[in-house]
Amino acid sequence: MFIYNVTVTLEDSIHDEWLRWMKDVHIPHVMQTGFFVENRICKLLTEEKETTYAIQYTFRGMDDLHKYQKEHAPRLQQDHKEKFKDKFAAFRTILEII
């Protein structure tokens, strides 16, 4: 099993709207693609001014992730970018569950 981890740092001005949108819209859309088996939102505990979250999606194999990235990720990432433009920074990592 693997984790597709999306780390997002937000401006405070969008925090509440972003979190609600992630829970109610974005994550359900990602899960509806059928490539992930579970998800979680983790808040990083730091002393930094900005708030940072790690959104984690568990998947079974690299083929699933590659298909998701090809068939769905560009559209879903664009939706996020358009909704919260210039008020966040994001990066993605892939983790293997040992």
Domain assignment present for residue 31? The answer is yes
**pLDDT tens digits along 36-94:** 999 999 999 988 788 999 999 999 999 999 999 999 999 999 999 999 998 999 999 99
Domain assignment present for residue 96? The answer is no
- Strand order of the β-sheet with 38-43 is 38-43, 51-59, 2-10, 88-96
Domain assignment present for residue 74? The answer is yes
Number of domains in the chain: 1
Domain assignment present for residue 98? The answer is no
Domain assignment present for residue 33? The answer is yes
Domain assignment present for residue 76? The answer is yes
Domain assignment present for residue 91? The answer is no
pTM for the full model?
Answer: 0.90
Q: Is 66 helix (H, G, I), strand (E, B) or coil?
A: helix
